[in-house]
Structure 1
Amino acid sequence: MTTYYYVLASQKFLLEEEPFEEVLRERRRDYQEKNKEIDFWLIKQPAFLEAPPLASVKAQCPQPSVAVISTNQQFITWLKLRLEYVLTGEFEAPSDTIPNPLASLSSVA
């Protein structure tokens, strides 16, 4: 199993009120310059929130939600420090309750 770390927020906040697209674009450019494999993903309406152990996390976040998921804990910590009004956490997958860590409940992810 792999440990995934996440930053979770409402879609309105993260995608409309914050200049977040620029942050992801800059991070992607940095990874390309360093020939580093992308280890973060933006997921609208993340399915991992449907796992029973994460029900309390889902209840704390305005819906619809969006998550940045990464295997890089330092990146998620950096995002948390840069952004306000976000939740952070971690989970392991694949598992019985989270078979696909990058799955979305949205038809357009």
Structure 2
Amino acid sequence: MYNYYFAVASQSFLLNQEPIEEILRERINYYEYSNKEIDFWLILNPNFFNDIDKPINIIKNKKPLAAIVSLDRQFIEWLKLRMVFVYTGSFKSNSVFMPENI
């Protein structure tokens, strides 16, 4: 079972009001320097909310959405502190998370 963590917000906020490109580029550089495999994804219009037990009605109403999904809980917690206006949560999956399937 895999534990995934996410930070989600409206696409407008995440892509236009936050320096998400810079944040993710720095994270990728850190992973490459550390010889670590990438364990996060930027997803536009995520549909994994349908599989989460508790509904997230407040954030669902702010469409279109964008999410950053990761295996690293601390990374998502840091994003929440950095960006403030994002909703965070988690979900479990029996399979490896593939962005094209969400």
Specify the alignment match of 1:22 in structure 2: 22
Instruction: Assess, with a 3 A threshold, how the Cα gap between structure 1 residues 100 and 72 changes in structure 2: closer, same or farther.
Output: closer
Alpha-carbon distance between aligned partners in 2 of 1:60 and 1:86, rounded to the nearest angstrom: 11
The answer to whether structure 1 residue 60 and structure 2 residue 63 are counterparts is: no
The alignment of Structure 1 onto Structure 2 pairs a total of residues equal to: 99
Give distance in 1, aligned partners of 2:36 and 2:44.
24
TM-score (norm 1): 0.82
Alpha carbons 1:48, 1:101 under 8 Å: kept: no
Counterpart CA distance in 1 for 2:2 and 2:83 is 25
- Partners of 2:50 and 2:44 lie apart in 1 by 13
1:4 is aligned to 2:4: yes
The runs of 5 or more residues in structure 2 that have no matched partner are: none
Q: CA deviation at 1:51?
A: 2.2
**Aligned partner of residue 36 in structure 1, secondary structure:** coil
In the TM superposition, what is the alpha-carbon distance from 1:84 to its structure 2 partner?
Answer: 1.8
| Structure 1 residues without counterparts, runs of 5 or longer | 105-109
Deviation string, structure 1 residues 4-27 (Cα, Å, up to 9, x no partner): 000010000000111111000010
Give me the identity figure in percent: 45
Alignment partner, residue 31 of structure 1: 31
Coordinate RMSD, CA, aligned: 1.8
- Taking structure 2 as the reference length, what is the TM-score of the superposition? 0.87
Classify the secondary structure of the residue corresponding to 2:53: helix
2:93 corresponding residue in structure 1: 93
* 1:5–1:69 contact (8 Å) kept in structure 2: yes
Deviations 1:14-64 (A, max 9, x none): 00111111000010011001111001000111110122624x21x211111
